[in-house]
């Protein structure tokens, strides 16, 4: 349908008003599934702006976000048992909390204090048992263990992409291009990468 309508507008040299006036006398035809010509009388349009939420009420600094997307995942841990819990906060929930001027991230969940939170595109360095395993001076080690957060879902599944993939053979190492974790299996330290490419710990486990 889009192609048919675009061709109609071209015939009228881009004049939309003329292209779609006089539809009854000069109808726009499209082929149906039965290969019959059917006149187009109505067009249903989706307006993505209707699904946007205004995050900043300031008229001079308007900021809109998609309502359905997840904003962050917060991970909580009991320091004694090391048992974890998590909360996924959607953009809608984050917006409502911000407008109410309350913290977007809860300080604890089910008695467990906040350990860290992640948003899309955060950069992390993974470790197996303890952050002290990370050798911050070994660039080869960091290259093999540094990831970017791709996404996370309401079930707590967290997907990480390799930050550096230049040395990976896509055919031989296809399964290594991204990894899936849960709040209980993810062990990482959030980091920042400066303009010179240096990896600096943000101090958040």
Say if residue 191's pLDDT is above 80.
Answer: yes
Q: Are residues 142 and 167 in the same domain?
A: yes
Average pLDDT over residues 57-72: 67
Tell me which of 102, 118, 134 is where a domain ends: 118
Where does the pLDDT of residue 143 fall: very low under 50, low under 70, confident under 90, or very high at 90 and above?
confident
- Residue 45 belongs to some domain of the structure: no
Q: Which residue has the higher pLDDT, 160 or 3?
A: 160
Average pLDDT over residues 3-18: 77
Q: Are residues 22 and 86 in the same domain?
A: no
Q: Are residues 34 and 62 in the same domain?
A: no
Q: Which residue has the higher pLDDT, 11 or 160?
A: 160
**DSSP bridge pairs for 38:** 30
| CB-based contacts of 36, cutoff 8 Å, min separation 6 | none
Q: Given this model, what pLDDT does residue 14 score?
A: 75
Q: Given this model, what pLDDT does residue 6 score?
A: 79
Structure tokens at 1: 């349908």
Say whether 184 sits in a helix, a strand or coil: coil
Percent of the chain with pLDDT over 70: 75
- H/E element, 109: strand 108-109
Angle CA(185)–CA(187)–CA(188) in degrees, nearest 5? 145
- Residue 198 belongs to some domain of the structure: yes
Average pLDDT over residues 111-127: 94
The residue segments making up the domain with residue 96 are 52-118
Q: Which residue has the higher pLDDT, 59 or 18?
A: 18
What's the mean pLDDT when you consider all of the chain?
A: 80
Say if residue 122's pLDDT is above 90.
Answer: yes
Where does the pLDDT of residue 56 fall: very low under 50, low under 70, confident under 90, or very high at 90 and above?
low
Q: Are residues 124 and 205 in the same domain?
A: yes
Angle CA(68)–CA(74)–CA(78) in degrees, nearest 5? 150
Where does the pLDDT of residue 177 fall: very low under 50, low under 70, confident under 90, or very high at 90 and above?
low
Q: Are residues 88 and 141 in the same domain?
A: no
Domain count across the chain: 3
Is 146 in contact with 117 (CB distance < 8 Å)?
A: no
Q: Are residues 101 and 126 in the same domain?
A: no
Is 105 in contact with 75 (CB distance < 8 Å)?
A: no
Structure tokens at 78: 């009991």
Say if residue 30's pLDDT is above 90.
Answer: no
């Amino acid at each position: 349908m889009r192609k048919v309508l675009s061709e109609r507008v071209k015939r009228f040299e881009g004049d939309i008003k003329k292209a779609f006036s006089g539809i009854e006398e000069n109808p726009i035809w499209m082929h149906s599934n039965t290969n019959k010509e059917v006149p187009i009388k109505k067009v249903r349009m989706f307006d993505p702006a209707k699904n946007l939420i205004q995050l900043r009420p300031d008229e001079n600094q308007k900021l809109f976000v998609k309502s359905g997307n997840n904003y962050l995942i917060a991970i909580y841990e009991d320091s004694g048992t090391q048992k974890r819990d998590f909360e996924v906060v959607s953009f809608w929930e984050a917006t409502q909390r911000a407008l109410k001027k309350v913290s977007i991230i809860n300080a604890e969940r089910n008695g467990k204090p906040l350990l860290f939170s992640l948003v899309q595109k955060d950069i992390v360095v993974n470790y197996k048992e303890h952050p002290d395993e990370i050798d911050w001076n070994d660039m080869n080690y960091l290259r093999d263990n540094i990831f970017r957060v791709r996404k996370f879902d309401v079930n707590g599944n967290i997907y990480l992409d390799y930050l550096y993939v230049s040395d990976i053979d896509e055919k031989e190492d296809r399964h290594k291009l991204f990894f899936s974790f849960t709040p209980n299996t993810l062990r990482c330290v959030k980091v920042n990468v400066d303009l010179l490419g240096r990896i600096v710990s943000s101090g958040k486990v």
